[in-house]
Structure 1
């Protein structure tokens, strides 16, 4: 990976957060590319991931956390809920031990670096999902797309076997990197124009 995974994660969350701040009151129930999720459910999912990150990076297991972060985490102020959760997640991921700690996830133990990479990829792909849902610019940061593509090359089979991503979409040869990455995650995206 060409960029520090902690920096990539921070930037992906920043980009997602910028879109959260642009959600209009009538867009929270808008459907997203994620099956069964509207905008509110998508943001709630990212907030849940954000709230779990400090706990897991501090050594608690997914089993110990249990269902603490289930249900609606957005309350009456979804933007404030997102901002607070993102700040905590980024602080936890930036700690000195975050890359070398062992995180005990529901499917097994992984290094902190691998867990942060998973959080980064989730935030990046969901940034596109949110942009598509609210009609915002769908172009993702090219450096983050490159980093996610490199990481996902080794992780795709595990994700596919776990059933947590959509069926890969076929794209013509010569398709831009962002569209190829999104297609590998099961997204149908329009080709991304050059910046």
Structure 2
């Protein structure tokens, strides 16, 4: 299996290509994420990326919130995505970053686990965005397989978190992308 840093790069690219494909009249199109349109979905991923540099530097949630509150606003969501994603990726590439501990809303965890969470989030939301703006929904098969493998042992935790819709049953012979999306409550 590919290394998680490489998978993260792939997931970031999957989301990025779709953000750049958003037409001006699509920002308020619905997505598979209940109550989120395209703008809300991209805003969610921007916010997630903005946290990364602070959390990887050891900030607690309140410290990161305070630092983020002092940052100037972006002119638009595309710029916000580009800047935030670039800064997050740079932070992930810091030497020995995966050996660190990060402070998340649910407690301390390893940076490696946090990176897997971010990779899974980017992957699933890349599909959500593709569906919302009606572009190619096919995701990198190696990325999908790896995120599926990482997610399977965490199905109960994902459902209990309340952050995802309940898993949807699919046939045993469904392809990896269908199975992954079903784990996160997406009906393909």
Q: Same fold (TM over 0.5)?
A: yes
Unaligned runs of 5+ in 1: 190-195
In the TM superposition, residue 51 of structure 1 has moved relative to its aligned partner by: 0.6
In the TM superposition, residue 63 of structure 1 has moved relative to its aligned partner by: 2.8
Match of 2:133 in 1: 134
Match of 2:41 in 1: 42
Number of residue-to-residue matches in the alignment: 186
* Secondary structure in structure 1 of the residue aligned to 2:103: strand
In the TM superposition, residue 96 of structure 1 has moved relative to its aligned partner by: 1.2
5 Å matches for 1:99-118? 99-118=98-117
Match of 1:63 in 2: 62
Distance 1:116 1:24 in 2: 30
Output one character per residue of 1:45-95: Cα deviation in whole Å (capped at 9) or x when no partner: 00101110111011001232237658xx97432212111111111111111
**Residues 62 and 104 in structure 1, CA contact (< 8 A), matched pair in contact too:** yes
**Residues 56 and 102 in structure 2, CA contact (< 8 A), matched pair in contact too:** yes
TM-score, scaled to structure 1: 0.90
**Residues 159 and 167 in structure 2, CA contact (< 8 A), matched pair in contact too:** no
TM-score, scaled to structure 2: 0.94
Distance 1:74 1:121 in 2: 27
Query: Which range is displaced more, 97-106 or 156-165?
Result: 156-165
In the TM superposition, residue 155 of structure 1 has moved relative to its aligned partner by: 2.2
Query: Which range is displaced more, 117-126 or 6-15?
Result: 6-15
* Secondary structure in structure 1 of the residue aligned to 2:85: helix
Match of 1:31 in 2: 30
Output one character per residue of 1:18-44: Cα deviation in whole Å (capped at 9) or x when no partner: 111110000000011011100001001
Distance 1:175 1:8 in 2: 22
Query: Which range is displaced more, 122-131 or 167-176?
Result: 167-176
* Secondary structure in structure 2 of the residue aligned to 1:103: strand
Distance 2:124 2:14 in 1: 11
Distance 1:67 1:148 in 2: 32
Match of 1:6 in 2: 5
Match of 2:171 in 1: 172
Cα RMSD of the aligned pairs, angstroms, is: 1.6
